[in-house]
């Protein structure tokens, strides 16, 4: 399963607007997509509650995984969102 490890740079972490943008992008895909804090349990990346429950803060590393056709492109887009300042 392809994955990306990304360090979150936004001051608010993966909360509020960055989380909403991340979830909306994941939800547009027909693929199964998960996100987890490094070493933690993955959650559905299409669930705003799941993503917010990770409590990802600035400087934390997340692992984003996707399975299926177009996974690499989707992971690149999600990694860009998660790593944006």
Question: Which active-site residues does the annotation give?
Answer: 15
For the chain, how big is the Rg over CA atoms in Å?
A: 11
CA 39 to CA 72: how far, in whole Å? 21
CA–CA distance, 42 with 53 (Å, rounded to integer): 11
């Amino acid at each position: 399963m392809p994955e990306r490890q990304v360090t979150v740079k936004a001051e608010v972490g993966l909360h509020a607007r960055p989380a909403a943008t991340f979830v909306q992008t994941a939800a547009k895909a027909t693929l199964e997509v998960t996100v987890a804090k490094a070493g933690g349990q993955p959650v559905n990346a299409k669930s705003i509650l799941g993503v917010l429950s990770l409590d990802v803060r600035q400087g934390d590393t997340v692992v984003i995984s996707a399975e299926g056709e177009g996974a690499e492109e989707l992971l690149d887009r999600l990694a860009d969102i998660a790593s944006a300042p």
